[in-house]
Structure 1
Amino acid sequence: MIEKRGIVQQRWKIAQDEIVGEDYIATVSPDTMIQQKSRPNPSNSPVAPLVLAWQSALERQDSTAYTNLWDKSARKKRTSSFRRALGLMSQAHIIDLQDATYSPVPTRRNRHIVDGIRVTLQNNGDIIETHNRTLTIEKKGFFRRQWKLINDQVGEISGAIVLEQTQQPSGVNTVSGDESGGSFDGNAPLDTQLKARQILGKWQAAWEGKDLNTYMSIYSDEALITRVTVRGGVETPVYLNKKQLRASMKRLNSMYSDIQVDISNLQINGDRAVADVTFLQKFTGTPASGTRPAYSDYGTKRLNMMIDPTDGHWRIYAETWSRYEDVPEYPKM
């Protein structure tokens, strides 16, 4: 309340300052105000409607709607990006735009970059991978100019196996034919490759972590495993069922305090229900009594994976391993 006060010189003064409905007043700190001011508001971006249309097309797995969002000439120039994104649409998409940033390109008035989009791929409720997406959007057309995708870049991937750059013995031919250990090859459909990589990453982590229950859950009850023992330079195959494999892995875990399993040169062949997975495997075991590895071997591992008809999950049905010459090594303690 404001009143005019004073006898000789009257001035407007505050007579009463009353807070009404204080329970509903929101307190905003200076830091929050700065953060809100600096953070781009997607509703203010002219490309926000296209981003929402892109999200809808992916989550509905509508390849036609997704294709129509692209500029035709850009689709030809960036065929690999377009085809990769289109191939991923066989999986269910969950799009998170919460941390996405919308940035106009200073040197190109009609071009915007949308970065920080998190995409999670799922198959029958199982998470296959999570990756970042970056969209490049530009206004195209002569008479009726519209915002169009000119690139859809798939970024870093998590939740799948990370291939190691393992050092190979000289003169060894790689499984995939590539010199780089960080690549994978094969004729399997993309969704099968992604699923096989996920299963293989889980298998690798369980072995190195000596998590026997998780490790064994990846094998089918009907699995046939071929392990190789080497004595005097002679390889002898040993055939194990699932129960025997569990006993063998339990003994192995008790022998070594530290286990490392490096995977490289991954090749995945098959179809949507069967995967023939081949890779180079280096096993290293270090006992609790020492700091140097007591055992190391290097060879080709082959896993036959199939969808288990009892529950629809991918599992290992067969496993074989063959070594390279002059391997395994037995370092001196």
Structure 2
Amino acid sequence: MGYRIAVVGATGNVGREMLNILAEREFPVKEIAALASRRSLGTEVSFGDKTLTTLDLDTFDFSGWDMALFAIGSDATKKYAPIAAKAGCVVIDNSSLYRYEHDIPLIVPEVNPDAIYDYKNRNIIANPNCSTAQMVVALKPLHDRARIKRVVVSTYQSVSGSGKEAMDELWNQTKGMYVPGQEVAPSVYPKQIAFNVIPHIDVFLEDGSTKEEWKMVVETKKIVDPMIKVTATCVRVPVFVGHSESINIEFEDFLDEDEAREILREAPGILVVDKREPGGYTTPVECVGDYATFISRIRQDSTIENGLNLWCVSDNLRKGAALNTVQIAELLGRKVLKKG
């Protein structure tokens, strides 16, 4: 028994991480295929102690395959995901293409697992934006207790969220700062990212917000509760991996910080590190490679009647992308396909 799994975009950062996590979590794989575009054809990628050679996505037959984990961006997904879905292979897509379509489930397994059954609508499941994924893991158990009215979030997002070229740009700009004449001009980002922060992720919208901020609003409503009001400011910071968020929450009912801390300690997918002393919190460097969403700095907000502040950190390549995708695959297998 086991599943036939295709990883689409297996040579990219997220695709490689999907393969790593499938192996780490001992996902019941009967057969696995690493798919890539023709320019990456024949590239070798690791899957546990095995080495896989990438196959041509353009000619791959998805018939008879159980799941396809997509990590290739919206344009390519728009072409290939319907082909896989029509062939009977369930698509779990990491791009933003399908997140906002009413008949496609948008899932974070710790938050809305029952949405998995809606995959039958189009044989496609969407994975949320990286910044949304970690935030809703923290919000859901608190919302169940005291009902969230409003969330104000500021994000501090690593460059890996923009891909390998962005990571290279940060590295090269940092080196260039110390070598006269070797400064590196911005290419991926509109301004220098080394030793700087950029309050601009994705395109600007008419109301002055960016699309990344809009995503956090819309996705939180779809995953947790459409009545929650969300306002976000999303910022790119000179960190290679790991997104951080400062979250202010206003509740309908009073929730004491100590009770909130205990609720979060018991919640799935969360690790609370909250000591009121130097170093008694989690930073992006410390979350890299970990499955958990880390919560720190839990404290009452005295400026409103029912408010809390907290600090949220997670590996964006894992919980924000590859890990959540694999968790969706596990959920699909456990609740629906049942071949494992």
Give the strand-richer structure, 1 or 2: 1
Q: TM-score, normalised by structure 1?
A: 0.24
Larger radius of gyration: 1
TM-score by length of 2: 0.24
**Bigger helix share:** 2
